[in-house]
Amino acid sequence: MKKVLSIIMTVLILAISSGTIFTVSAADNLIKNPGFEENIGPEPAEWLKDGDIWASYSQSGYANSGDGSLAYWYSDTYNITTYQILTGLTNGTYTLSAYYVNFSGGQEVCKMYARNVDGSGEVKLDLLDATLDWDKPWVESYQQISLTFIVTDGQCEIGFTSVTKEGGQAFWVDDVSFTLVAAAVEATEAPALSEDVPSDVVIPPVEDTPAPIEGTPAPAAPAVPSAPRVGDSAIMFIVLATTFAGAFVVTKRVKDRV
């Protein structure tokens, strides 16, 4: 419990210090037909294709889960991208994930990508290495991959591209997911104070200070008593002391004579 509270406090502190407020949303998968279960065949529902369109299709019976999966294969070389364009998105941080198997490896290009994100066009994961383990059931060779990025203008293209160097290179995809991690809302600034005075506010006039009557002498400044000077006090003390000493000496001499 203490660890959970510590994580929550850390997130709040980071959000406040950056001036951005993050609201966590439920992890709804925004991909349509994510498991390629609908319209199995050369044109899987909701997915678009670009390039050698015959080299990409949905198939039955070779899935990570369910029944369908997306297959890339052709007897000759091919260049194919299968993708979806997501619009009306809440700006914020998203995660794209999928399961894949690369049977042969060695393609010129084999990747999962997201475009129009992070303000720089495209982020991707290269999937060029073979992942099939022939000593296990092939379904156990599926590996999960993911990308996390920021959407800033409400739309994003996600997809999978395979460009082969030779015929027969195979690549499968299943269980694609695109989820919102945190929606970003810019912190609102306080409205600036207007210098204009509302029309219904009455400001009293400033009265002028009356000018002095001509010929009237200006009032004299009150006299400030001067502080006694240290030198004068010292001189007076010396005079008094000398006088007293002299009187004492004269008196003593008179007494001696008597």
* Tokens 């695109």, located at residue: 178
**pLDDT tens digit sequence for 186-232:** 666 656 655 565 666 566 665 665 665 566 565 565 555 554 454 55
- Asked if 156 contacts 114 with a C-beta cutoff of 8 angstroms, the reply is yes
The fold for domain 26-186 equals Jelly Rolls (2.60.120)
Residue 223 has which token pair? 């006299």
Residue 197 has which token pair? 């005075």
Longest CA–CA span in the chain (Å) reads 157
Residue 10 has which token pair? 């850390």
User: Mean pLDDT, to the nearest integer, of 149-171?
Assistant: 96
Task: Give pLDDT, residue 254.
Answer: 37
Whole-model pTM?
0.63
CA-based R_g, the chain, Å: 46
**pLDDT tens digit sequence for 43-83:** 999 999 999 999 999 999 899 999 999 999 999 999 999 99
More confident residue, 219 or 246: 219
CA distances from 147 to 21, 26, 117, 144, 189 (A): 22, 18, 11, 11, 33
pLDDT band at 251 (very low <50, low <70, confident <90, very high): very low
Task: Give pLDDT, residue 187.
Answer: 60
Task: Give pLDDT, residue 137.
Answer: 79
Residue 61 has which token pair? 């019976």
* Tokens 């002299």, located at residue: 246
More confident residue, 185 or 221: 185
**pLDDT tens digit sequence for 86-141:** 999 999 999 999 999 999 899 999 999 999 887 768 999 999 999 988 888 777 89
**In the β-sheet with 79-87, what is the strand arrangement from edge to edge?**
48-51, 79-87, 155-163, 109-115, 122-126
Specify the 3-state DSSP secondary structure of 93. Answer: strand
- Asked if 178 contacts 32 with a C-beta cutoff of 8 angstroms, the reply is no
Task: Give pLDDT, residue 257.
Answer: 46
- Helix (H), strand (E) at residue 245: helix 230-257
* Residue 169 to residue 205: CA distance in whole angstroms: 90
Task: Give pLDDT, residue 192.
Answer: 61
Q: Is 15 exposed, middle or buried (0-12, 13-18, 19+ CB in 10 A)?
A: middle
* Residue 57 to residue 49: CA distance in whole angstroms: 10
